[in-house]
Amino acid sequence: MSRSSFAFVDHVVLEKIAKSKNKKKPIKIWCRDSKIPKEAVGYTFSIHNGEGFFNLQVTEDHIGFRFGEFASTRKIGVHGKAGTH
pLDDT-based confidence at residue 37 (cuts at 50, 70, 90): very high
Point out the least confidently predicted range of 4-18, 27-41, 59-73.
4-18
**CA-CA distance, 63 to 65, in Å (whole number)?**
6
Domain count of the chain? 1
**CA-CA distance, 11 to 39, in Å (whole number)?**
12
Q: Does some domain include residue 59?
A: yes
| Domain, as residue range, for 48 | 11-70
Q: What is the CATH number of the domain that holds 40?
A: 3.30.860.10
Q: Does some domain include residue 77?
A: no
Q: Does some domain include residue 6?
A: no
pLDDT at residue 44, rounded to an integer: 95
Q: Does some domain include residue 58?
A: yes
Cβ atoms 27, 54 nearer than 8 A: no
pLDDT at residue 5, rounded to an integer: 62
